[in-house]
Structure 1
Amino acid sequence: MQYEINHNDLSLVLALVRGRSLARAAELLQVDISTVFRSIRRLESALGNALFEKSRRGYVPTDAAQAIAEQAERAEQALGAARMALRQGEQVVSGTVRLTCTEAVLHSLMLPALARFMPNYPALNLELATSNNFANLSRRDADIALRLTDTPPEHLVGRHLGDTAYVICGRPDFRQALEKEPTSVPWVAPDDSMPDHVSVIWRERTWPSIVPRYRCSSMSAVSELVSAGLGVAALTDFTARDLQGVEALSAPLEGCNTGVWLLTRPDCRALRSVQTLFDELTPLLREALQ
């Protein structure tokens, strides 16, 4: 009969993965070193798999040990949430919510908002993923998405948080050259992986003769190059505000205003954890967009 691991096995593997030594694992488990050594040898024998490799770096976990440790951490979090629920009653908000947005939106909008209220929900866990694809929600890889769009998919539900404008921004020393001859300054732009990005469409329509000197695979990278003084780019107004030493070098670009949406799947609306995040994020993100 195949051996079935138990809670003690999970705790043992997690302690050794975290500690990387018998001594540290013993300290975490509050047992002696010999107990950890015997227990891990016994577990490896029962499973028929090596869980750790001994090296100069200590006990290095195998893929099997890493997989067990990941499940052990989830069990640890669930146990912690259950204990907190007993202490605080039914009002505690717990669980794990998977949230997705682009890197640029994560740094400029999402993280500042999360920092203001997440400490109030110690039993609520977030998994953050940066992606441009609505398909994340469709495939159930995420529960909530913060997206810049004027046409959110009909199969998703959510809240319109406001609109953002695009401006040309860069270091102040580019201003004079930009006003005199836009093609004379180095431009930073999305690469061919984002042909439908609003800034690309605007540039090709307004100044088709401009050939960007730098092309990036994400808008976060575009903003980093602009911040480093390498050139100018069309960026959202909230991104431009966050870049040190960078100024808006133009008025809002015509035809580039874009809606900002907080979205989820219909089946997620009833989840207390998802509803809590919607209620907390909505006023903070609307404030940031003003």
Structure 2
Amino acid sequence: MIIAAAHYRLEHGDLALVLALVRGGSLARAAELLKVDVSTVFRAVRRLEKALGEELFEKSRAGYLPGSTALLLAQQAEQAEQALEAARVALEQGREVLNGTVRLTCTDSVLHGLLLPALARFMPNYPALHLELATSNDFANLSRRDADIALRLTNAPPQHLVGRCLGQVAYGLCASPAYLQGRDASDLAAMAWIAPDEFLPNHPSVVWRRQRYPALVPAYRCNSMLSVAEMARAGLGVAALPRFLIGDGLQALEGELPDCDTALWLLTRPDCRALRSVVTLFDELGGAIRLGP
């Protein structure tokens, strides 16, 4: 921001304006969010940009594209919005309210199979706490500070992270009853297999299959264990899945696969232990995630 901006005192209305334009992407949508007419938004943006001495948005046929200053102001506006919401909730409930934003990363299979049921159990107790969820198989998300908490299936969590082991996850073979109908369930090698692709070359299920059936070539491959489960549920073939994904629509074919157990780790960065919002969510997840039946 150039020196001219130092002579202008930002007000709450300015932040609300910028946030509405960043969220809406157009004058019309921002006007709807602010409950004013389009000309009012247009004039307000022009006045603010003139006062700050720079263009906050790139105007194009695609809409209003925010520049770096606009994104910075929108971030501050969101924090103010969250603080105001926390104050309102605190007044209503007559007690201190935890607020802030916590960024959490996990794989899509862990998200749907374990995390979402856990969040449903305790998140209603924290109405002013905001979550940003990202699905990824990469530990670098935490290392690059792109996330505050990670849930990972691994037997070797990075040593630079602080963690808690939530238990062991077993794997089993399964298929849909429709796919198994009329087939010899004991002749697994003759069936169509669904498996992770090269994106997960060292996945426990892949390592087990190559040892047990070295000549077998999967009929279907995909880069997501959740997709593997959904394809099996759709009746396309047999899959080796973590037990928490073997639910309705799938039938287990045999017992737990040997040497496939993987630990579920709840991880965070050492510097996050000073953040009350992160510590609270970390502890809640540790108590709410259930690996058993």
Q: Which residue of 1 aligns with 2:205?
A: 199
Partner of 1:211: 217
Give 3-state SS (helix, strand or coil) of 2:274's partner: coil
- Write the distance in 2 (CA, Å) between the matches of 1:205 and 1:160: 27
> What CA distance in whole angstroms lies between the structure 2 residues aligned with 1:234 and 1:178?
18
TM-score (norm 1): 0.85
Offset from partner CA, 1:133-169 (integer Å, 9 cap, x none): 2222222222111111222222222222111110111
1:251-262 equivalences in 2 (<5 Å): 251-262=255-266
**Equivalent of 1:159, from 132, 153, 164?**
164
- For 2:149, the equivalent position in structure 1 comes to 144
Matches within 5 A, 1:67-146: 67=71, 68-82=73-87, 84=89, 91-146=96-151
Partner Cα separation in structure 1 for residue 184 and residue 97 of structure 2: 54
Match of 1:267 in 2: 271
The structural deviation recorded for 1:92 is 2.1
In the alignment, which residue of structure 2 is the partner of 1:249? Answer: 253
Instruction: Tell me how large the CA RMSD over aligned residues is.
Output: 2.8
Counterpart position of 2:55: 49
Match of 1:2 in 2: 4
What amino acid maps onto 1:284 in structure 2?
A
Any idea what SS the aligned residue of 1:62 has?
strand
Q: Identity of paired residues, percent?
A: 59
Cα pair 1:170 1:247 within 8 Å, conserved: yes
Decide whether the 8 Å contact of 2:169 with 2:262 is kept in 1: yes
Letter in 2 for 1:139: R
Secondary structure in 1 matching 2:132 = strand
Report the number of matched residues.
284
SS of the equivalent of 1:253 reads coil
State the one-letter code of the partner of 1:213. Answer: A
**1:256 CA drift (Å):** 0.9
Against the structure 1 CA distance between its residues 198 and 54, is the aligned structure 2 distance closer, same or farther, given a 3 Å change threshold?
Answer: closer
**Is 2:173–2:254's contact at 8 Å kept on the other side of the alignment?**
yes
Name stretches of at least 5 consecutive residues in structure 1 with no aligned partner.
Answer: none
Secondary structure (helix, strand or coil) at the match of 1:2 reads: helix
Question: Would the alpha carbon gap of residues 17 and 258 (structure 1) be closer, same or farther in structure 2, given more than 3 Å must change?
Answer: closer
Gaps of at least 5 residues in structure 2 are: none
Secondary structure of 1:269 counterpart: helix
For 2:179 and 2:251, how far apart are their aligned partners in 1? 10
- Alpha-carbon distance in structure 2 between the residues aligned to 1:121 and 1:12: 28
Question: 1:218 corresponds to which letter in structure 2?
Answer: S
State the Cα distance separating 1:221 from its structure 2 match: 1.6
Distance apart, 1:107 and its partner CA: 0.6
